[in-house]
């Protein structure tokens, strides 16, 4: 658990990144100061080469460890969407200049898998909560189905908007998505 003292609105991973950035920036500043101080001394090139060759394997080892660690940790943090987690799927088609949704209502607090495609050109499928905060987006592309998984926590009227300029009436590609209170259930007649 990392305290959010850097910025109260940061989550744990953002705080960790901020701390890592500060540490690296500080180390770089120290390195610059050391180099600036040492340039006043007259050191033969042969000596510089000897020291550099001695440091090189250790530097390589450090970079390999750093990158392996960073990639290893971040692999677990990536928001991969698991197909098994979604309870409901919504078929979304974007077109000039409309969104069609099936079904048009979904239950709140339920993992929703949006299957998004386009009937003509590229569009950007963006979902906003009732307070106008963007929850997620994915490209709507002709010939492909892209997936976006979201949990819409609160019941209410959510907004779908196009986030990619797609023609003269791009700004009209806004529509509502009703999120109903009720049990999270799979597709069926008794589902909201």
Residues that bind Cu ion (CB under 5 A): 123, 162, 166, 170, 173
CA separation (Å) from 92 to 32, 72, 128, 144, 172? 53, 34, 15, 12, 17
Q: 111 vs 170, which CB is nearer to Cu ion?
A: 170
Q: Is the peptide bond before 103 cis (omega within 30 degrees of 0)?
A: yes
Closest separation in Å from C-beta 99 to Cu ion:
10
Question: What DSSP character marks residue 84?
Answer: G
Compare residues 96 and 145 and give the one whose CB is closer to Cu ion: 96
Smallest distance, Å, CB 136 to Cu ion? 17
- Burial environment of residue 28 by CB neighbours within 10 A (0 to 12, 13 to 18, 19 or more): exposed
Length of the chain: 192
CB atoms closer than 10 angstroms to residue 155: 16
Of 95 and 156, nearer to Cu ion (C-beta) is 95
Report in angstroms how near the CB of residue 118 gets to Cu ion at its nearest: 10
167 or 182: CB nearest Cu ion: 167
* Minimum distance of Cu ion from residue 137's CB (angstroms): 12
12 vs 176 by CB, closer to Cu ion: 176
Nearest of 121, 103, 120 to residue 112 by alpha carbon? 103
Pairing of strands 156-162, 174-180: antiparallel
Rounded least distance, CB 105 to Cu ion, Å: 24
């Amino acid at each position: 658990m990392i305290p959010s003292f850097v910025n109260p609105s940061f989550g744990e991973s953002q705080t960790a990144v901020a701390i890592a950035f500060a540490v690296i920036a500080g180390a770089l500043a120290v390195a610059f100061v050391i180099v600036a101080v040492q340039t006043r001394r007259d050191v033969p090139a042969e000596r510089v080469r000897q020291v550099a060759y001695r440091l090189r394997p250790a530097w390589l080892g450090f970079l390999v460890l750093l990158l392996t660690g960073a990639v290893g940790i971040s692999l677990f943090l990536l928001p991969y969407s698991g197909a098994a987690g979604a309870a409901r799927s919504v078929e979304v088609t974007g077109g000039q200049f409309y969104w069609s949704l099936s079904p048009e209502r979904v239950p709140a607090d339920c993992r929703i898998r949006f299957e998004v495609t386009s009937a003509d050109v590229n569009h950007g499928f963006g979902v906003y909560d009732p307070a106008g905060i963007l929850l997620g987006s994915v490209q709507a592309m002709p010939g492909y189905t892209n997936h976006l998984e979201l949990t819409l926590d609160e019941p209410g009227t959510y907004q779908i908007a196009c986030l990619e300029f797609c023609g003269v009436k791009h700004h009209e590609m806004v529509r509502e998505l009703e999120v109903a209170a009720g049990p999270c259930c799979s597709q069926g007649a008794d589902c909201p």
